Amino acid sequence: MELTSGYKRTDVGVIPEDWECAPIATVARLESGHTPSKRMPSYWGGNVNWVSLHDTQSLDGPEISATSKSITEDGLNNSSARLLPQGTVVFSRTATVGKATVMASPMATSQDFANYICGPKLHNHFLVYLFRSMGRTWRGLMAGSIHNTIYMPVFEALKIALPPVAEQHAIAAALGDVDALLAGLDRLIAKKRDIKQAAMQQLLTGQARLPGFQDAWEVKPLGQLVSIQKGQLITAKTLAPGHVPVIAGGKQPAYFHAFANRFGRTITISASGASAGYVAIHEGPIFASDCSTISEADGYSLDFVYYQLLLKQALIYKAQTGGAQPHIHAKDVNPIPFFAPAVDEQAAIAEILRSMDAELAALEARRDKTRALKQGMMQELLTGRTRLV
């Protein structure tokens, strides 16, 4: 394959001419971690932050500032654990291989981590993004029969693509901006979900009434409000592959069939298995299999019933029977008490909650698009295919 002008072929792939293919040991110092003896209580619970596999979620952010466990000075002094300086890159090399971040303060780590103290030619946040982009490389280097592990000699011999330091800073800043945007979207989505949950609690129980509605609410068993139908089993003889989603529980179709047995909008309640009791709503024709269903009809708003079921999801799960193989049938959910205002008030409440769902869906779609954009940026910037001025 012919090289583009200004690029060269190296051990780490095709990179710009002015980038180096450098052994990481020449630009950073590798440090291992250690676990002090757990038989010595005096070694634990001190003021030294100690990164362990309990902290792997914290490795997704730009920095790790707190740890779930800590050790004492005695634990540090009487083991091979090392106190590493602020700014050290910590990389998970066992179990959750590939997670990396920067220490926000001096910390020690367990032996499950490889740690790099970067020199003046290597920017620590650039190295974090580079490590996070190397998933395929890490998978090829894993070994171990019990846990996926990358052994320390691999890190001693590792080579990386090394842009000029100024470009490293620019790349890390650009990707950091996208991460900040993603974090902001995550916070906004979490806040909107909390607002929706509070609105459901208030509106679906009558604690808050919408303007213009004053009639008293009834409380009646679900089975008196709606008609719940049982799904239909598909056998090997009746299976005809097609495009109609077969709903047998859970969020995703179990498979696809040639025929539908429910048309229009339908609520499903999973009937058995690990997802027994899971509530979902479907917008088009489906084949209802291992589930109970509620279809649109006069006398109630299907969306209102759906949101009521969501509000009572924990109660529905408690109705499971069958022990190791849980089941929930129509007779199990029929007695659940439901608030039942007039149909027009049901529809008005459901419309507000649908609008909240639409706003959440738009935010989640924006977050997903931003994540995909970030992946593309990483691929371009960390290989030098796109250069930052």
Which tens digits make up the pLDDT trace of 52-86? 999 999 999 999 999 999 999 999 999 999 999 99
Closest CA relative to residue 207, chosen from 353, 300, 341: 341
d(CA 332, CA 72): 54
pLDDT value, residue 149: 92
1 has pLDDT over 90 = no
The reported pLDDT for the residue numbered 145 is 63
pLDDT digits (tens, 9 = 90+) for 356-377: 999 999 999 999 999 999 999 9
Q: Which residues pair with 321 in a beta bridge?
A: 327
361: exposed, middle or buried (Cβ count in 10 Å: 0-12, 13-18, 19+): exposed
Q: What is the pLDDT of residue 75?
A: 96
> 218-340 maps to which CATH number?
3.90.220.20
Q: Which fold has domain 163-211+344-389?
A: Helix Hairpins (1.10.287)
Measured between alpha carbons, how far is 309 from 295 in angstroms, rounded to an integer? 14
pLDDT band at 2, cuts 50/70/90? low
Label residue 148 by pLDDT band (50, 70, 90).
confident
Q: Residues 87-120: pLDDT tens digits?
A: 999 999 998 899 999 999 999 999 999 999 999 9
Where are the CATH 3.90.220.20 domain residues in the chain?
22-162, 218-340
Model pLDDT, residue 236: 81
Q: Tell me the pLDDT tens digit for each residue of 122-147.
A: 999 999 999 999 999 999 999 876 67
Task: Express as a percent the part of the chain with pLDDT over 90.
Answer: 87
Report residue 238's pLDDT band, with 50, 70 and 90 as the boundaries: confident
Size of the chain in residues: 389
Average the pLDDT over 229-250 and give the result.
88
pLDDT for the residue numbered 277: 93
- Residue 190 scores a pLDDT above 70: yes
Lowest mean pLDDT among 18-32, 210-224, 232-246: 232-246
pLDDT at 97: 93
> Tell me, what amino acid is at 382?
L
Check residue 235 and give its pLDDT. 84
Cβ-proximal residues to 133 (8 Å cutoff; 6+ apart), any chain: 378, 379, 382
Rounded mean pLDDT, 38-63? 95
CATH number of 22-162: 3.90.220.20
What's the rounded mean pLDDT across residues 351-360? Answer: 98
Distance, C-alpha 241 to centroid of its chain: 32
The pLDDT assigned to 251 comes to 72
Does the pLDDT value for residue 379 go beyond 80?
yes
Residue 249 pLDDT level (bands cut at 50, 70, 90): confident
Over residues 206-216, the pLDDT tens digits come to 999 999 999 99
Q: Strand 63-64's sheet: what is its strand order?
A: 28-32, 113-118, 89-92, 100-103, 63-64
